[in-house]
Amino acid sequence: MTKLDKDKTLEPSVDGMADEILESEERFRLLSEATFEALIIHHQGTVQLVNKAFSTEFQYSQHEAQGMNIVDLVSVESKYRVLDNIESTENELYQVTAARKDGSTFPAQVHSKVIQFDGHSFRVASLRNLTSFFKAEEAIHRIEKRLIQLIEGLPIAVLLVDREGVPRYANAVFNRLFSVGIRNIGPGCKDGRLSESCRMFVKGTEDLYPYDELPTIKALHGETMTIDDMEILCKDRRVPVEVSSAPVRNATGEITYSVTVFTDITDRREAERSLKEAEEKYRSIFENAVDGIFQSTPEGKFITVNEAMAKLWGYDSPEEMIRSIDDVAQRYVNPWIRHEFKRMLEEQGTLLEFEAQVLRKDESRMWISVTARAVRDHEGNFSYYEGTLKDITERKFIQESLRESEGKYRTLVETSGDTITMLDPEFNILTINRQGVNTFGYDSMGEMIGISAGKLVAREDLARANENGRKVFESGTIRSYELNLKKKDGTLFPAEVSASPVMDASGKPASLVIIIRDTTQRKIYEEKLRKINAELEGYAHTVSHDLEGPSSAIILASDTLQLLLDMPASPKVEADIRQVVDTIGKNARRTSHLIRGLLDLAEAGQQPRIVSEVSIQEIIGSIEKERASEIEEKGISIDIKNDLGVIMASQFHIYELFSNLLSNAIKHNSNPEPIIEISSIRDDNRTVHRYLIKDNGPGIPDSLLDKLFLPFSKGSGGQTGIGLAIVDKIVKVYRGTVSAYNDNGACFEVAIQDMDPGRLNNPDAGLS
């Protein structure tokens, strides 16, 4: 804690108090009671008299204080100082730690003076409590510390000079900027060397800044000022600074300090330079721009326009255009468009590419595109509009032509029977026509936009589809390759695909146009055609080969019989005749069987004339009786697993269907213990009847599985190869399916539907 200097007296009235005490005790009492300080009169340390202020401060009554030793009124560490004062004959000002009656202490300043009274020496001591003083001093120190911290944190240089010109404080920024501490500035700033010490120059020259013009010096003479034409030499570069100085005055108005702030304005100077360059560039752009540049009032009067603006509107000069147009709305083909432009601009603040049609000087029409902003004054009112203007007449013509072309193209695309879609480089759908939405089973075009095209390709064909897509981007169009595609519900279908790249403005592929043709129906027709051709080939083969053999045998036997009949009768001739007749009979029966098969095959695909409820169980029983001898001979067991139910159908068709399937199972089952199982399979659709005919024979050769139901496809031991083809035709009449596979023997799975009697009148009902 800082002690007060001894030459500073807080309450000088004590000096003259002793003589008054000698003159009158009453006057002393009145004076001592009026003072705010504690007064003590003691003789050789023994208290003789105290005032009320003492009693208030020390908590002793005046009566209690009389006779006390004065050293009992201070702390232990202050007792020796008090004793020294008692022994001294000098007047003294010193500090002690005073002690109250309750033991609490407080810092105090004591002013002690010796007086003579009635031939004795007394000391009069005035005592002031310094607690508030020290608290105030501590608060000032804290404020000073925070102020210094604040100044040190500022990005500006600060210099404090007293009234004698002696630098008293400089912050860290000052030291860095000037590369010199306040000790190196000199003993004072009034010796004329401040500019030299701090290397202060007039901007753009090698001249030191004039001493008399320095803001620091001006401030010491009472002026407040700011300059920005000074440069500081900092290491190897000149730093432009803005300097502001102001005088600091005490309570009486005297100048005690000058405070100077130096701000590095390098960035500002650079900004000013850039602004100047920008203004020059703007002026160059304004005067040489191809587009029109303008400023206009909200009322439609042009304030300024550039040369290009005037030429676009057909005027000879900017001045002529400004002079000729008082309200630009009158030059709009539709004046209300100008009002709409104004409304939108003032609502939004800026407007991009606003299009309108205007009239040139010669009354010809021009389409313009305006980009503008609204500028407000300091009160927030719209002052003027400024912006740029382009002539887009040619572009509008092209857009209109393109719109017509796009309309024709859109009509073509939307009415196409093929799927037409466009993909981005990542093969995501950009657009697709209505046919495509329907083909893939989606609800809307929006549902398909953005999805990956790979989602529409069967897994086994995805790699090939991606490879072809990359080839199109790299090499160009690929036409007519086949893929299996996938609908939204997962259904697969065959398709023929063509792809072509769409180029951007630089000639690089930007997207793909894909044309997809669903070939499901074509595949069906091709399969039908293949079967028809196979049937025709089978017919031809049967007629030319299978029927030719028996016919030739019959002719040969007939010729032989004729020769034998011309021979004399004998047992040998008779035996030969019998053999020839037997040959003729066998070949005639074989020919009849082939013809019967051809007729059955032809009739199998025909719509029945009459349908009724047919019991499958009864049909199986009839077939078992017909084939009883063959079944018994091979030891075949026929096992009906469950109720086979009834079906609405032609009894002839159902008999032929199961007869051919059972005949096939009987004929080809070479198991020592042959079994044929017949069962009904449950189907969720009650109108669909599903059956499984399974044997435990060697199964179907893999080479025959894919052509088993083609007419005249014969395996080992087969006869005509017509039976399973008849099954296939009958099943299709009933809108069903038949399939064959191996599972510890040959398995045939049949699914047929009830024949609706209403379909009997439909001539195409049997087609599939």
Running DSSP on this structure, what letter comes out for residue 329? G
Question: Given its phi and psi angles, is residue 507 left (phi above 0), alpha (psi -120 to 50 degrees) or beta?
Answer: left
Cα angle value 436/521/539 (rounded, 5°): 170
* Residue 17 binned pLDDT confidence (cut-offs 50, 70, 90): very low
**Beta carbons of 111 and 124 less than 8 angstroms apart:** no
Contact (CB, 8 A) for 753 and 736: yes
Judging by DSSP bridges, how do beta strands 737-742 and 225-234 pair with one another? unpaired
CA–CA gap between residue 614 and residue 606 (Å, rounded): 18
Q: Which residue has the higher pLDDT, 33 or 443?
A: 443
What pLDDT is attached to residue 5?
Answer: 39
Contact 577, 558 (CB under 8 A): no
For residue 763, pLDDT over 50 is answered with no
Task: Determine how many CB atoms are found less than 10 A away from the CB of residue 757.
Answer: 11
Q: What is the largest CA-CA distance in the chain?
A: 211
By the 8 A CB rule, do 511 and 423 touch?
Answer: yes
State how far the alpha carbon of 68 is from the alpha carbons of 18, 43, 72, 104, 303, in Å.
Answer: 21, 11, 7, 18, 98
- The predicted pLDDT at position 602 comes to 57
DSSP state of 766: T
Structure tokens at 676: 């044929």
Provide, rounded to the nearest whole percent, the portion of the chain with pLDDT above 70. Answer: 86
CB 752 within 8 A of CB 733: no
Please, which pLDDT band fits residue 122 given cuts at 50, 70 and 90? Answer: confident
CA distances from 604 to 600, 637, 711 (A): 6, 28, 12
Question: What would the pLDDT profile of 180-208 be if each residue is shown by its tens digit?
Answer: 766 666 555 666 778 888 888 999 899 99
Residues 6+ apart with CB under 8 A from 313: 292, 321, 331, 358, 360, 361, 366
Q: Is 119 left (phi over 0), alpha (psi -120 to 50) or beta?
A: left
Contacts of 401 (CB under 8 A, 6+ apart): none
Rounded Cα distance, 533 and 113, in Å: 148
Decide: 368 and 284 in contact? Cβ < 8 Å.
Answer: no
Distance CA(275)–CA(269), nearest Å, equals 10
Q: How high is the pLDDT of residue 764? A: 46
What confidence tens digit (pLDDT) does each residue in 558-578 have? 888 788 788 888 888 788 888
Q: Are 731 and 628 in contact (CB under 8 A)?
A: no
Higher pLDDT, 599 or 252: 252
Does residue 86 sit in helix, strand or coil? helix
pLDDT greater at residue 454 or residue 29: 454
Average pLDDT, the chain: 83
Name residues whose C-beta falls within 8 Å of residue 620's C-beta, 6 or more positions apart in sequence.
Answer: 638, 640, 644, 658, 662, 678
CA 759 remoteness from chain centre: 58
Note the pLDDT of residue 526: 77
Q: Which two tokens stand for residue 5?
A: 């200097």
pLDDT at position 767: 34
Residue 385 has pLDDT above 60, yes or no: yes
Helix or strand holding residue 385 (H, E): strand 382-391
Indicate the range of 232-241, 487-496, 546-555, 626-635 predicted with least confidence.
546-555
**For 643-692, how does the pLDDT look when each residue is reduced to its tens digit (9 = 90+)?**
999 999 888 888 888 988 988 888 888 899 999 999 999 887 777 899 99
Confirm if 92 and 7 have CB atoms less than 8 A apart: no
Q: Name the strand (E) or helix (H) holding 219.
A: helix 215-220
| 421, 432 contact by CB (below 8 A) | yes
CA distance 276 to 448: 55
pLDDT score of 702: 86
| 761 secondary structure, DSSP code | G
* Whether 94 contacts 85, CB under 8 Å: yes
pLDDT band for 479, please (50, 70, 90 cuts): confident
Measured distance CA(258)–CA(220) in Å, rounded: 6
pLDDT for res 2: 37
- Quickly state the pLDDT bin for 106 (edges 50, 70, 90): very high
Q: Which of the four pLDDT bands, split at 50, 70 and 90, describes residue 22? A: very low
Across residues 162-172, what is the average pLDDT? Answer: 84
pLDDT surpassing 80 at residue 212: yes
pLDDT in tens, 295-341: 999 999 999 999 999 999 999 999 999 999 999 999 999 999 999 99
Does residue 221 register a pLDDT over 80? Answer: yes
pLDDT at 89: 78
Round to whole Å and give the CA distance between 80 and 58.
20
Supply the pLDDT for residue 31.
60
269 or 719: which leads in pLDDT = 269
pLDDT surpasses 60 at 431: yes
Comparing 464 with 712, which gets the higher pLDDT?
A: 464
Instruction: Give the integer Cα–Cα distance in Å for 118 and 279.
Output: 97
Secondary structure (3-state) at 193: coil
List pLDDT tens digits, range 49-86.
888 889 999 999 988 999 999 999 999 899 988 888 88
- Residues 92 and 15: their CA atoms lie apart, in Å, by 11
Confidence grade of residue 442 (pLDDT, cut at 50, 70, 90): very high
Cα distance between residue 593 and residue 12, in whole Å: 157
**636 or 528, greater pLDDT:** 636
Which tokens sit at 49? 């008299």
CB 445 within 8 A of CB 425: no
How much is the average pLDDT of 119-142? 87
Contact present, 598 and 722 (Cβ < 8 Å): yes
Instruction: Look up residue 755 and give its DSSP letter.
Output: P
Residue 534 has pLDDT above 80, yes or no: no
Going 729 to 731 to 735 to 738, the CA torsion angle's sign is: negative
Calculated CA dihedral for residues 580, 583, 584, 586, nearest 10 degrees: 160
Tokens of 306: 């550039």
Q: Mind listing the pLDDT tens digit for each residue in 506-530? A: 888 888 899 999 888 888 877 777 7
Lowest mean per-residue pLDDT among 170-174, 250-254, 598-602: 598-602
Helix (H) or strand (E) holding 517: strand 509-518
- Tokens, residue 218: 């001006």
Give the helix ranges, DSSP H, for 669-755: 702-705, 723-733
First to last CA, the chain: 115
- Selection from 551, 553, 547 nearest residue 598 by Cα: 547
Which phi and psi (to 5°) does residue 360 adopt? -75, 180
Least confident span in 560-574, 600-614, 752-766: 752-766
pLDDT in tens, 674-685: 999 999 998 877
Mean pLDDT lowest among 264-268, 343-347, 675-679, 762-766: 762-766
Strand partners, 260: 159, 245
